[in-house]
Structure 1
Amino acid sequence: MPAPDLEPSAEMEKLSGIVKRITFHSVDTGYTVLKVNNFQKPQEEITILVHQSKVFAGATLDFYGQWITHTSYGLLFKATKVIERKPATANALEKYLGSGIN
Structure 2
Amino acid sequence: MAQVMTPDTHNPTEVLAGPVERVTFHSPESGFCVLRVKARGHRDLVTVVGHAAMISAGEWITASGVWLNDRTHGLQFKAQFLKASAPSSGDEDKTNPLCGRRVCRSVRRHCSRIGCPS
Instruction: Name the TM-score, length of structure 2 as normaliser.
Output: 0.61
Structure 1: gaps (5+ residues): 1-8, 93-102
Q: How does 1:6-85 map to 2 (within 5 A)?
A: 10-11=4-5, 12-41=13-42, 43-85=43-85
Number of corresponding residues: 83
Judging by fraction of residues, say which structure has more strand. Answer: 1
Pick closer, same or farther for the CA change 1:56–1:66 going to 2, 3 Å.
same
Pick closer, same or farther for the CA change 1:28–1:47 going to 2, 3 Å.
same
Residue 4 of structure 2 aligns to which amino acid in structure 1?
A
Give, in angstroms, the shift of residue 84 of structure 1.
3.1
Give, in angstroms, the shift of residue 38 of structure 1.
1.1
Instruction: Indicate the SS of the match to 1:56.
Output: coil
Q: Is the 8 A contact 2:14 2:64 kept in 1?
A: yes
Give, in angstroms, the shift of residue 21 of structure 1.
0.7
Structure 2: gaps (5+ residues): 6-12, 94-118
Structure number with larger C-alpha Rg: 2
Instruction: Indicate the SS of the match to 1:38.
Output: coil
Give, in angstroms, the shift of residue 35 of structure 1.
0.4
Instruction: Name the TM-score, length of structure 1 as normaliser.
Output: 0.70
1:87 maps to which residue? 87
Runs of 4+ in 1 over 6 A off after TM superposition: none
Give, in angstroms, the shift of residue 31 of structure 1.
1.0
CA RMSD of the aligned region, Å?
2.3
